[in-house]
Amino acid sequence: MASTVTLEKTTTVQSGDTGVGSPKTVLRSPLLMKGRKVGDGGGEDATDNCCGHRCELISYDKLPEFLKHNEFIVDYYRSEWPVKEALLSAFSIHNETINVWTHLIGFFVFLALTVCAATMVPMEYEVSHTPLVASTGLDNITGNAMVLRSYSADGAAVVAMKALRSNVSVETGLAAALSPPAGLRVARWPFYAYLCGAMFCLLMSSACHLLACHSEHASYVLLRLDYAGITGLIVTSFYPLVYYTFLCDPLFQALYLGFITASGAAAVVVSLLPVFERPELRWARAGLFACMGMSGLVPIVHKMLVFGDRPEAVLTTGYEMAMGAAYLAGVVVYATRVPERWMPGRFDLAGHSHQLFHVLVIAGAYAHYLAGLVYLSWRDMEGC
């Protein structure tokens, strides 16, 4: 049966403290009515799809309490839509459309990066090449180690990974003839744990933005999954940093990994409390996640104290600073609700703070992915 989702916009713009003082308007944009059969008599009536009322977009003041998160976004809300209509609304325009798609596209980008890494970065059980280059003295051979060394130095990650791929066969052949028995590369799980953490965060966020409008219970469950996703991203971001930096120092490695994992578990428990999602606790939520993220400064400073003269350490720290700056900007935008607080109603569909926050999260996560590649190349070359 054809969808009869009604995305008709019947807008009553409020005047008063929102600063939007335009008279009542009824907006029937074709874009906002996508998917609806209006009076064509060819499908079930839209009224039947949404619990006795139309699946129409409504204004903030008509929302039930559980959907009131941001009074500066005045309009284009979905409220208590059936699951099917909420799912289909990914392809229509409302105030969550861009929030859904920014992180859904981000999820697929990270899925592609994971596949890329799995196919282009040598597996940990492949031959070790450091003994090969050292023992043969063939400095002119552009084997993996040499490629990765230059890649670490100039940060040209993508170019290096392509070069890496093209050189695998050269070195593998030489290794068979010249190298000592193959050794293990450094473990890959911290790098892939991070990629999984990033994908989980992006997917949960996207699902939350798409389906939380369904019901109070759905909103409660999905928001918890969203918070768990953010926590998972932060925790797993520590894994490559700590594991590879302190590869040769099991005490600090265990200390930092244990600390961040325990902090993440505590954050998930705290986020299960119903009070956690109250709008007035926006700063507390932002603060909790920001503190977890900021604690990453400790192992980073520790890394620079120990390995400050190493280009790999400097390069990874640069990526981590870029990630931190993106996340920090995201947290500030999220908590201050800029720019919509300056012009309520103006950014309902595009340009509001949460969309900016999403883009900054993806940018930060990508910077950390680049750092992860450098860590792998560093420890593959050096081991412990």
Point out the annotated binding site for Zn(2+). Answer: 209, 354, 358
Site mask for Zn ion (CB under 5 A), range 200-229, x = bound: -----x------------------------
- Chain positions 118 to 157 lying near Zn ion, rule: CB under 5 A, are none
Whichever of 205 and 271 has its CB closer to Zn ion, that residue is 205
Whichever of 247 and 356 has its CB closer to Zn ion, that residue is 356
Q: How far is the CB of 358 from Zn ion (least distance, A)?
A: 6
Question: Using an 8 Å Cβ cutoff, are 64 and 78 in contact?
Answer: no
The contacts of residue 145 (CB under 8 Å, 6+ apart) are 129, 130, 132, 133, 380, 381
Please identify, among the stretches 47-55, 128-136, 197-205, 230-238, the one whose residues bind Zn ion according to the rule CB under 5 A: 197-205
Whichever of 8 and 348 has its CB closer to Zn ion, that residue is 348
Whichever of 205 and 231 has its CB closer to Zn ion, that residue is 205
Q: How far is the CB of 154 from Zn ion (least distance, A)?
A: 35
SS3 360: helix
Q: How far is the CB of 205 from Zn ion (least distance, A)?
A: 5
Question: What is the number of other CB atoms lying within 10 angstroms of the CB of residue 104?
Answer: 18
The two structure tokens encoding residue 53: 């009322």
Distances (CA, A) of 210 to 81, 83, 128, 222, 271: 11, 9, 46, 10, 20
Q: How far is the CB of 279 from Zn ion (least distance, A)?
A: 15
Distance CA 192, CA 132 (A): 27
The full length of the chain comes to 384
SS3 53: coil
Q: How far is the CB of 14 from Zn ion (least distance, A)?
A: 25
Of 5, 163, 136, nearest to 82 (Cα)? 5
SS3 57: strand
DSSP per position, 259-328 = HHHHHHHHHHHHHTSGGGG-GGGHHHHHHHHHHHHHTTHHHHHHHHHHHTT-HHHHHHHHHHHHHHHHHH
Whichever of 95 and 205 has its CB closer to Zn ion, that residue is 205
- Chain positions 255 to 274 lying near Zn ion, rule: CB under 5 A, are none
Q: How far is the CB of 15 from Zn ion (least distance, A)?
A: 29
Question: What is the number of other CB atoms lying within 10 angstroms of the CB of residue 263?
Answer: 18
Distance CA 191, CA 372 (A): 6
Distance CA 19, CA 21 (A): 6
Whichever of 101 and 252 has its CB closer to Zn ion, that residue is 101
Q: How far is the CB of 324 from Zn ion (least distance, A)?
A: 19
Does 70 bind Zn ion (CB under 5 A)? Our answer is no
Write out the binding residues.
Answer: 209, 354, 358
**Total chain residues near Zn ion (CB under 5 A):** 1
* Residue nearest Zn ion, Cβ-based: 205
Whichever of 205 and 353 has its CB closer to Zn ion, that residue is 205
Distance CA 111, CA 101 (A): 15
Distances (CA, A) of 295 to 255, 267, 299, 334: 13, 14, 8, 20
Q: How far is the CB of 354 from Zn ion (least distance, A)?
A: 5
Whichever of 128 and 205 has its CB closer to Zn ion, that residue is 205
The two structure tokens encoding residue 256: 């930092």
- Chain positions 84 to 103 lying near Zn ion, rule: CB under 5 A, are none
Q: How far is the CB of 206 from Zn ion (least distance, A)?
A: 8
Whichever of 205 and 219 has its CB closer to Zn ion, that residue is 205
Q: Which residues bind Zn ion (CB under 5 A)?
A: 205
